Structure 1
Amino acid sequence: MRRALDASAAVLGTTSPNPPVGAVVLDTAGAVVGIGATAPPGGPHAEVTALQEAGPRARGGTAVVTLEPCAHHGRTPPCTEALAAAGIATVVFAVRDPHPTAGGGAAVLRAAGVAVKEGTLGEEVARGPLRAWLHTVRTGRPHVTWKLAATLDGRSAAADGTSRWITGADARAEVHRLRAAADAIMVGTGTVLADDPALTARRADGSLREHSPLRVVVGHRDVPHGFALDAPDVLHLRTHDPDTVLAALHARGVVDVLLEGGPRLAGAFLAAGRVDRVLAYLAPALLGAGPAALADAGVGTIADIRRLQVDEVRRVGVDVVVDGRPDGAVDGAEPARASVARSESDGQTLRKGAV
């Protein structure tokens, strides 16, 4: 399952609106004979790719998959059919598919005489590569990660506005890997005017990574000519309403959003309850003055403080990363609470009730 998890992580950012699934096929002796991951929309699913690599060695063997194999016809046939046709004897999967149309593969496989085991590394998979997709199926909106870089006293820039670089090289390299795994990167117009960011995913040598997420600017002000985000491939949403922003991104098949600033946009998303994960890169440094990393988040008294459930605290180079979820955020490992679901195979939007 960990090898399947690694395969799914390798395709993050390339599969939406489909889930980034990983699959491993074992022969009857337990040897790995095939590994696959979800291709971009319209391409084969993870199980099919792994079965193709395994060939006849799959017969009588085991398929290990991060997500319950799909059981419906979309752009491609059901994976349950491919597994049964290949003679797979046992299917092990981590997370049950909550989608109302694509789900139910376990029952289909059992009816075809295939042994099924579910739940292996379920929480790890649900909070890993499948996190954003599960969230989108269960809420009908993209998953939003707010990434911030700040000093220990909460400053995102010095008093004169300079901010390069608060965090170290290792933290910045990690953020570029996060960008490459996201569907979209989002900033407000204030950040555009102050910093002129490119919002590209780059390597240490400055070259672009293979996957470039959608670059999104939010706000009514124009992006000046000559700025990096004054480009035809940039989506400019002239609104300040988080739900309007997320609906527009959802309509484009966006599942995973990286919110990078600025403080007012982050505050608006937090106040609206539309931040699902916080990644805080904290530098062991102090400024004492300058812009705060977060503006008004709808907290007027200590009773309304926005607390996080902390999943991890770790070192990245010289910096510390706090990874947490705001209280009330829908987690991928939680039971289904879907309202608007997106089809795993064909991207069709299915309404089940009010958002």
Structure 2
Amino acid sequence: MTVSDVEHDAMRRALALARRGPRGVNPQVGAVILSPSGDILAEGWHHGAGTPHAEVDALSQLSPGQAHAATAVVTLEPCNHTGRTGPCSLALIDAGVARVIYGLDDPNPRASGGAERMRAAGLSVVGGVLADDGVAQLRDWLTVQELGRPHVTVKWAQSLDGRAAASDGTSQWITGPAARADVHRRRSEADAIIAGTGTVLADDPALTARTEDGGLYDHQPLPVVLGARATPDEAAVRRHPVPPLFVSDHDLHALLQTLRERGVQRVFVEGGPTVASAFVRAGLADEVLAYIAPVLLGGRRLALGDLGVDTIGDARRLTVASIDRLGDDLLVVANPEHTAPRSALGHPAAQKENA
């Protein structure tokens, strides 16, 4: 049993629908219901906590019996538990759906098992379809499910010889406008942005996400200032649209737990060499963004400090995900080997199905 081109197209549509839903504690999920002839009968997505899941949202648009013998295409395995809403797997069974195509296995043990329930009821079920796209779209939520903490991106800008600042401490601007615009776009996609008090006192950053014309993105990350030194009352970060969180405790695991409890899934660490090094040294960097400018500075102001690497065998190995040119600068995106993206949770490269 194979997955048709029409079903692949429906999965791409479901992934696009999923992005309409809010990012938060619950995953963004999309669903498309296909008729036996392959026409789209209904579409749905999860609109937020407490609302119908994507499958039920789509089914609600159909009249009784209209989903009989249909195919449901869903980005995440239909759930198998009762919370604020009932099990989506049961809703699909009761609607008379004959076939279910889904992207990722649900990693939450409380919600997983929907695929097996539907198979036991006689439905044809295929998992792992466009799983790489699903992992990329749900990376932050998956990190929370697997590791119990938000997904952490550590960013820095450096000269070609690895310096974050000149000998006198000046660092604005190492990179050019295109790189800075990319940083602000990524800030706007984060739930929280972390900077150390050293950076706040030296550079007085606003920690906002700004558009190229100087305006503010609609979504602004929660600014987090980490360190024992006091932040002046007149500091720019205190005028941030979102009230800042000031944290004097250097326990990064506790900080991430606090942020998770506040619904944060994506953390952007941009706080200078000390804070960046601390996250990398603690093994808490899931993604590294290194913006590299074609300038030479020399000196001792390295982009990263001590990582606890005393010998080459202890080096922090990374897997390069992409290298992009931004104006005159380069952006290298890399993942520590222990957090490199996988093809799919619980799936081999091939699709899993019942014949």
The two structures share one fold, judged by TM-score above 0.5: yes
> What is the identity, as a one-letter code, of the residue corresponding to 1:295?
G
The answer to whether 1:105 aligns with 2:114 is yes
Match of 1:146, SS? strand
Alpha-carbon distance change, 157 to 64 in structure 1, aligned in 2, over 3 angstroms: farther
Alpha-carbon distance change, 58 to 171 in structure 1, aligned in 2, over 3 angstroms: farther
Alpha-carbon distance change, 24 to 183 in structure 1, aligned in 2, over 3 angstroms: farther
Match of 1:69, SS? coil
The whole-number CA distance in structure 2 between the counterparts of 1:174 and 1:62 is 40
Encode CA deviations 1:180-237: one digit per residue, 9 max, x unaligned. Answer: 2222211111111122222222322222222222221211111111212226721112
| Aligned residue number for residue 344 of structure 1 | none
Alpha-carbon distance change, 69 to 318 in structure 1, aligned in 2, over 3 angstroms: farther
| Aligned residue number for residue 98 of structure 2 | 89
Alpha-carbon distance change, 35 to 185 in structure 1, aligned in 2, over 3 angstroms: farther
1:332: how far off? Answer: 5.7
1:333: how far off? Answer: 5.0
* Segment of structure 1 superposing worse, 210-219 or 288-297: 288-297
The whole-number CA distance in structure 2 between the counterparts of 1:83 and 1:2 is 20
Match of 1:171 among 162, 179, 199: 179
> What is the identity, as a one-letter code, of the residue corresponding to 2:324?
R
Encode CA deviations 1:28-65: one digit per residue, 9 max, x unaligned. Answer: 33234544443233334333344445667655332222
The answer to whether 1:308 aligns with 2:328 is no
| Aligned residue number for residue 247 of structure 2 | 237
1:256: how far off? Answer: 1.8
Aligned residues: percent identity? 50
1:324: how far off? Answer: 1.4
The whole-number CA distance in structure 2 between the counterparts of 1:208 and 1:55 is 44
> What is the identity, as a one-letter code, of the residue corresponding to 2:84?
R
The whole-number CA distance in structure 1 between the counterparts of 2:180 and 2:42 is 35
Alpha-carbon distance change, 4 to 195 in structure 1, aligned in 2, over 3 angstroms: farther
| Aligned residue number for residue 247 of structure 1 | 257
Unaligned runs of 5+ in 2: 1-10, 347-355
The whole-number CA distance in structure 2 between the counterparts of 1:86 and 1:171 is 50
Q: Return the TM-score normalized by structure 1.
A: 0.84
The whole-number CA distance in structure 1 between the counterparts of 2:208 and 2:20 is 18
1:311: how far off? Answer: 2.0
Match of 2:103, SS? strand
Contact 2:132-2:344 within 8 A present in 1 as well: no
Encode CA deviations 1:281-317: one digit per residue, 9 max, x unaligned. Answer: 2223322347322122222333322121112222234
The answer to whether 1:78 aligns with 2:87 is yes
* Segment of structure 1 superposing worse, 324-333 or 260-269: 324-333
1:278: how far off? Answer: 0.9
The whole-number CA distance in structure 1 between the counterparts of 2:19 and 2:299 is 39
Larger-Rg structure: 2
The whole-number CA distance in structure 1 between the counterparts of 2:23 and 2:337 is 29
* Segment of structure 1 superposing worse, 234-243 or 194-203: 194-203
Unaligned runs of 5+ in 1: 337-355
> What is the identity, as a one-letter code, of the residue corresponding to 1:178?
R
Q: Structure 1 runs of 4+ off > 6 angstroms?
A: 54-57
* Segment of structure 1 superposing worse, 262-271 or 284-293: 284-293
> What is the identity, as a one-letter code, of the residue corresponding to 1:26?
L
Root-mean-square deviation (CA, aligned residues, Å) is 2.6
Match of 2:230, SS? coil
> What is the identity, as a one-letter code, of the residue corresponding to 1:144?
V
The whole-number CA distance in structure 1 between the counterparts of 2:294 and 2:39 is 47
Match of 1:230, SS? helix
| Aligned residue number for residue 332 of structure 2 | 322
Match of 2:238, SS? coil
The whole-number CA distance in structure 2 between the counterparts of 1:319 and 1:36 is 41
The answer to whether 1:68 aligns with 2:77 is yes
Q: How many residues align?
A: 333
> What is the identity, as a one-letter code, of the residue corresponding to 1:124?
D
Alpha-carbon distance change, 178 to 25 in structure 1, aligned in 2, over 3 angstroms: farther
Contact 2:154-2:268 within 8 A present in 1 as well: yes
Contact 2:131-2:344 within 8 A present in 1 as well: no
> What is the identity, as a one-letter code, of the residue corresponding to 1:101?
R
Contact 1:6-1:22 within 8 A present in 2 as well: yes
Contact 1:131-1:332 within 8 A present in 2 as well: no
| Aligned residue number for residue 349 of structure 1 | none
| Aligned residue number for residue 29 of structure 1 | 37
| Aligned residue number for residue 224 of structure 1 | 232
The answer to whether 1:20 aligns with 2:42 is no
Alpha-carbon distance change, 96 to 143 in structure 1, aligned in 2, over 3 angstroms: same
The whole-number CA distance in structure 2 between the counterparts of 1:134 and 1:62 is 26
Alpha-carbon distance change, 266 to 288 in structure 1, aligned in 2, over 3 angstroms: same
Contact 1:134-1:332 within 8 A present in 2 as well: no
